[in-house]
Each structure stands twice: as C-alpha cells, then as structure tokens.
Amino acid sequence: MSDDLCMLTAVEAVALLRSGRVSSRELVEAALRRIEQVDPELNALPTVCAERALDRASRASPDTTLAGLPIAVKDLNDVAGVRTTYGSPIYADHVPDRSDLMVERLEQRGAVVVAKSNTPEFGAGGNTFNEVFGETRNPWDTSRTCGGSSGGSAAALASGQVWLATGSDLGGSVRTPAGFCGVVGVRPSPGRVAAGPSPLPFDTMSVEGPMGRTVADAALMLDAMAGLDARDPLSLEAPARPFADAAAAPSLPLRVAYSADLDGVTPVAAEVRDACGRAVERLAAAGVEVEQASPDLTGAPEAFQVLRGAGYVAGMEPLYATDRDRLKPDIIWNIEFGLSLSVERIAQAEQCRGAIFQRMSEFMAGYDLLLCPTACVAPFDVSTRWIREVSGVMFDNYVEWLRITSAITLTSCPVVALPCELTEQGLPVGMQLVGRPRGEWQLLSAAAAVEQVFDLAGRVPMDPRGA
C-alpha cells in the first residue's frame, strides 16, 4: 500500500485526502518509508523532519489547496525548527526559528514538509553537490548528475519520495534538473510566488517555483504558492481561475516557434538536438504549426553574467568579507567578478536586458509558445562539476553551459520545463515551453496538451537505476 500511494500523482493524492479515503499521516508514513528505501542511492533528501511532519499531518485540513500532502523544500528555504544549511559548511548546523514566506504560505495551504532537498552551495551551479551532504544522483542512472540547483527536488520526485517539491531558478535551477530527471518544473513570472524576506526584495532574476511529476501537479502546487504578500513588493494577485483549471483543460497551441540553440546563443550537443527534433516532429504531426524561429537575444550571455555578478555582490559580499576561505571557488569567482564590474558595464547589461524584454514581447505576439531544450547536453557524470566544452565551443566558467536557460531568464517570461524525449542511452531530455509575459494560465493549458503528445509523464516515479 505504501508503494501504491507513492506512485500516485499529486492531483490523485490530494483527491484522496479531500475525500477522506486516505489521511495525511498515511501519506507522510508512506513517504518516510520510500525515502528510507531509495534515498541512500540518491542522496536527494539529506534532512528528514519526520516528527514535525507527523505532527503537522495530524492537524492538516482537507479543505486546503494541498489538503495535507507531504512535500520536500529545497535547502535554500528556511523551514522553522528544521536544519537548513543552504548547502554551505558555514551554515551546517543552522536551524531557523521561522519559515520563509513561501514555506509559510505552502503550510497555510495544506503542505506538510517532510524533508529538505539537496542543493549546491547557495544554489550556485547546475550539478547538485556540496561539502555538507555530498552529491545527489540521478534516478535514471545513478552514475549521472540530477542537474542543479534544484537537483534534490527533481531526483526525489522522479524516485517517488514525495509528490511535490519546491525549486528556485536564477539561470535554470528549476529547468535543468527537471529536464535531467524527467519531471516538470515551472519558472513563474517574477512576483508570481512571493519570496523572502530577502536583502534584495526587488530582484526579478531569481524566482521560486513548483516542481512535480506532471503539468497538473505543478499547476496545483503553483496555486498553493501564488498570491499577494505585503512583505514582497513584487508579489502578484492570484489568478481569477486556479492554475489547476488550466492544466485540467489542455489545449494544444496553434503556432509555436522552435529553436534548438536560440539562434546561436549556445552550442547544443547532437543527441539533444536530435531528441528535441523528434519531439517537435510529433507536435507537428499532432497539428501544431511549428516554425523554426527565435527571438533576438543578442548580448544575453554577457548581460546575464554581469547582472548575476552584481547580484552576488549585493547579496553575498558581507559573507565574502567574513568567510571567504569557507566558500566554494565558484561563488568566490562570482563575487569577485561582480566586484570588478564598472558602473558602465552594469548599466549596459540593464539596457541589454530591457531591449531583450521588448524584442521578446514583440516576438511572442506572433506565437503561442517558444520551444527550446532545457540543457545543451544530456545528464553527465556526477563527478563532472560543470561542462567545459560542447561541440568544440569552450566555456570558461561554471555558468556558461547554462546559456539556454539563462538567456530565457532575461525575458521574464514564464516557462514550463517538461520531458520530451529520451536519448539512445535512455536518459531524459527536457524541453522549455516559454509563454507570453505573465501568461502562466495559458502556458499551463498548452503545456498539459503538449505533455500528452510527448507521452513521457508515466515514466516516473521509478526505482533508481545503476549505470
């Protein structure tokens, strides 16, 4: 019975909770057994808060959005009374007194936090490893990475340890692991999910978002996350109709743009190009008009690097000043790169981002969606910290191989990442479905229909597989 419960989608599990046919406590116990069974091979959920979860489950209301459903929370987000390390040895023993805004809202709406999911130190990187807990592995092939930085969440979902999990995304931290693990991740519009408290409350590059096994699951979680919060100056009103209604009414887009490399923004490995090409052909066969086209993203890689560097200085320079020797080299590089920037260079990056947003808005007026891969490579060896070369193009830092996602970040458009194909080795390849500005409702409806065409949603959850 435990395994049967873990195989349910979040939508199915919540329906059982609301009907009284299963209790929140039963689901927590099922999750705990599944974690004990499979996580030693994956290290996706290194911190489990069983007693707290069972206590919350005993008081969960079936009349809330998630009705007592157990979830995992990324270890970048504070959960009251639960060890929260941010993947850093500096905070290895940190236990916050209160939860952050997003976690508070999720718990108010019926989520039961059962575990914290692993992340690279301070979320920096596209491979999930840190000095506190070690590396997280991919359930599809435990010799491979699950991606990052929301890699623990993605791996936990794919292996059936939880039904929903939180993610955060600056340069692809929801989208890359969703693609690598064959699950669904949503990067919402800035402000859609209230976040904080933060030293940078007006930041629009980094957002919080839901992760699930299906589009409908992710939409349900987005309903539990969305809405105004006076403590977040960018937060948006919840939609007039729930996002779950959008996923429950799948509607194929009429016309989409597709570009494997966003018109040269990044090199893309042949196996990813081939896999995404096959997926797009299936969409065309289903009646969708597919046009090879891309918005003009000139200057995106440089602008992203500059704005990211400036953001690292604003958010982390005090820690750099006191604990530089305890930060991983990638974070030191990011901060020192930011400190080297001139005012003129930062201003140029802001201007470039503004121009990209305007061009993207005009481009999307002609298409329902923009499609492109979630990563330029398939899941790689877990011991490879970052990709240094693709198709003869060399990358000189750990962020460059993520251009396919970071360029889309600059547009501020909402994105659904979902599995679209498998490589010849049987590894998942993901597709980014980019919607119009603040167009989550229409995007989720289209994504639910595209998910049916790609027909990979039933491949997870799975037991971890060796190489």
The CA distances from residue 316 to 128, 273, 333, in Å, are 20, 37, 12
User: Which SS3 state, helix, strand or coil, does residue 390 take?
Assistant: strand
Q: Name the residue among 31, 20, 76, 37 with its Cα closest to residue 53.
A: 31
Q: Name the residue among 90, 192, 76, 187 with its Cα closest to residue 128.
A: 76
* Residue of 173, 189, 206, 235 marked catalytic: 173
Q: Look up residue 20 and give its DSSP letter.
A: T
Q: The tokens of 178 are what?
A: 């969703």
159 is catalytic: no
249 Cβ contact partners less than 8 Å away, ≥ 6 residues apart: 445, 448
* Residue of 74, 117, 235, 406 marked catalytic: 74
Q: Name the residue among 78, 86, 85, 84 with its Cα closest to residue 107.
A: 78
CB atoms within 10 A of CB 341: 16
Looking at the DSSP bridge assignments, the partners of residue 415 are 187, 434
**DSSP conformation letters of 77-93:** S--TTS---TT-GGGTT
User: Which SS3 state, helix, strand or coil, does residue 459 take?
Assistant: helix
Looking at the DSSP bridge assignments, the partners of residue 138 are 141
Q: The tokens of 148 are what?
A: 């990052």
* Residue of 149, 150, 168, 189 marked catalytic: 149
Q: Which residue has the tokens 């797009």?
A: 280
173 is catalytic: yes
Q: The tokens of 423 are what?
A: 């490589």
Q: The tokens of 438 are what?
A: 């603040």
Long-range contacts of 77-80 (CB under 8 A, 24+ apart): 77/102, 77/103, 77/166, 77/168, 77/208, 78/103, 79/49, 79/103, 79/113, 79/116
Q: Which residue has the tokens 């692993």?
A: 118
Q: Name the residue among 178, 177, 189, 140 with its Cα closest to residue 41.
A: 140
23 is catalytic: no
Hey, which residues are catalytic here?
74, 149, 173
